[in-house]
Structure 1
């Protein structure tokens, strides 16, 4: 491997050593500050969600169990994945090929579990709005727990199957020592694109469109019944329409913005190369979705704002705080 004179190597005594990543000092500091801030915010927001749902008994509902699963997967992103990528912005990979491969398996597993949970949340909201009378019997805490466990188990096996070649031959995609790179073949990338991106988005869009239609129909029914308050009823219809459209728009648009750049190579018919030693925009956009999820799925709930106040003021440490009414 030819190296420019004066270049620093990851392993100076090895002929196939990679060059150490280098960025201007100011640029490197900005990258560290920005990425560290995202990681800290991701951990903090998802910890608030986890503590809130776990502590208060009134929040132990099937829907909130799904939110809890989503928050746990997003917390793993902030605690395990983001720090590793921050550390190796300007450093070499010294943990070996096996750890490198396991890191990516963990990365993809967490992402798959997060996406699968988003789909479950869509189904939950669909049943709650479109079939409210049978919702208590069709969606129980026990079934929610089973679905969450299946999400995680299937994500583990799916990613192990998809990364089987890399697990059998760790470091097969690395061109030099001190590098942590995984190249997903075009075929595997297409499979991943379909099952982790296209199908979930399609399901979410269909379910939320159905929710939008039903919510609008219910609002119109209320307006027709309240003839005396026709003007007020019209406002109700508009609010219901905007709320349904807003929820759909936030869920789909944010997910598309965060994950589209990562899947662009597959859409272009190319292999997907992922490098842990770089702060690739597409990787961080995908992980940034874990920072936005608690905002999308939790900050719209009034009970979450109450929980934040109780947690930050340490009132949850008082006896009987678990039974505080939040709804």
Structure 2
């Protein structure tokens, strides 16, 4: 009887403080491993294509694409680091120690938060482009966007170090037993800075963007016959901006659909235990977003499809390939 009881513990030699195992069936474990590993490889490969394309081709060095590059880097790290960690976290017991548990969550939260802030920046970029088109090229410059991206990542690092400071000083402080990987968050602070403020900002700006886009579309349709050749270029430019806004709007909408369930689950309580089935499903939806983003780029952006062809055929290795007309 004692042997059976010991077999259900994470560490049978520590009878008093060891966690009990929550055993999954072999078929369920294999399904989780295969699905997460496949998504991880696909996420790394697709986002690497986005990173290479935007970094290599000079025509793609625009403020909006720099923000997409930042998002691709975050998604690439999710596939490279977060998903393998997630596979470990789905195990019934955590065997790598309390410090490594904290570092896993720290890296995960940095990627999540940087993605969230980058989405806010993308929404702001479209907001200025549609609502204040005459000021866009003077206000939104490549240099300023680069600085904003650096600040975004820097703030994500420092904010999450602050959030997990107690865990970094005393790893495993909130574990109820040995073999558990749990973090205790300052729910009110994290709810405000990681969810309410970013999500509210994104929604407010895109509601304004689409309201202005609809009014502009109506104005262009009503005056289309009276447009001169000189003004036609302006109309075409506005149509291009609105098309970009719609495309990025889909990316933002998919992002919100994937991220909101995760935040709603983990903000419902103080302890975050990923091994539970419900929370595993929520985290899976969050991770899936990193794989979906480059798929959306391929669907909406001809330049990305053309870039993939040039990268896969190794034409980017040719001299002066960075000057290729990609748009």
Please, what TM-score do these two structures have when normalized by structure 2?
A: 0.85
Structure 1 residues 157-306: aligned runs within 5 Å: 157-184=158-185, 188-227=186-225, 248=249, 251-252=252-253, 254-265=254-265, 268=268, 270-275=269-274, 280-296=280-296, 299-306=299-306
User: Are 2:21 and 1:12 equivalent residues in the alignment?
Assistant: no
**Higher mean C-alpha deviation, range 129-138 or range 300-309:** 129-138
Would the aligned equivalents of 2:85 and 2:104 in 1 still touch at CA under 8 Å? no
Deviations 1:55-82 (A, max 9, x none): 1111111111111111111111111111
Would the aligned equivalents of 1:20 and 1:90 in 2 still touch at CA under 8 Å? no
Q: 1:276 deviation in Å?
A: 6.3
User: Are 2:305 and 1:323 equivalent residues in the alignment?
Assistant: no
| Residue segments in structure 2 that go unaligned for 5+ positions in a row | 228-235
Q: 1:193 deviation in Å?
A: 1.9
CA 276–152 in structure 1, closer or farther in 2 if over 3 Å, else same: farther
Would the aligned equivalents of 1:67 and 1:297 in 2 still touch at CA under 8 Å? no
Structure 1 residues 25-64: aligned runs within 5 Å: 25-64=26-65
Q: 1:147 deviation in Å?
A: 0.3
Structure 2 CA distance for aligned equivalents of residues 88 and 107 of structure 1: 12
Deviations 1:253-296 (A, max 9, x none): x233322333335665x324233697711222222222223334
DSSP 3-state at the match of 2:105: helix
Q: 1:120 deviation in Å?
A: 0.5
**Higher mean C-alpha deviation, range 42-51 or range 165-174:** 165-174
Q: 1:19 deviation in Å?
A: 4.0
Structure 1 CA distance for aligned equivalents of residues 107 and 75 of structure 2: 12
Structure 2 CA distance for aligned equivalents of residues 208 and 297 of structure 1: 19
CA 318–300 in structure 1, closer or farther in 2 if over 3 Å, else same: same
Q: RMSD value over aligned CA atoms?
A: 3.0
Structure 1 CA distance for aligned equivalents of residues 225 and 3 of structure 2: 81
Would the aligned equivalents of 1:92 and 1:277 in 2 still touch at CA under 8 Å? no
Would the aligned equivalents of 2:19 and 2:178 in 1 still touch at CA under 8 Å? yes
Structure 1 match to 2:101 = 100
DSSP 3-state at the match of 1:120: helix
Structure 2 CA distance for aligned equivalents of residues 277 and 40 of structure 1: 24
DSSP 3-state at the match of 1:174: coil
Higher helix share: 2
**Higher mean C-alpha deviation, range 159-168 or range 42-51:** 159-168
DSSP 3-state at the match of 2:134: coil
Q: 1:134 deviation in Å?
A: 2.1
DSSP 3-state at the match of 2:7: coil
CA 78–178 in structure 1, closer or farther in 2 if over 3 Å, else same: same
**Higher mean C-alpha deviation, range 167-176 or range 82-91:** 82-91
Structure 2 CA distance for aligned equivalents of residues 324 and 148 of structure 1: 26
Structure 2 CA distance for aligned equivalents of residues 80 and 191 of structure 1: 26
Aligned residue pairs total: 315
Structure 2 match to 1:135 = 136
DSSP 3-state at the match of 1:134: helix
Structure 2 CA distance for aligned equivalents of residues 221 and 36 of structure 1: 50
Would the aligned equivalents of 2:43 and 2:291 in 1 still touch at CA under 8 Å? yes
Would the aligned equivalents of 1:9 and 1:17 in 2 still touch at CA under 8 Å? yes
Would the aligned equivalents of 2:99 and 2:172 in 1 still touch at CA under 8 Å? yes
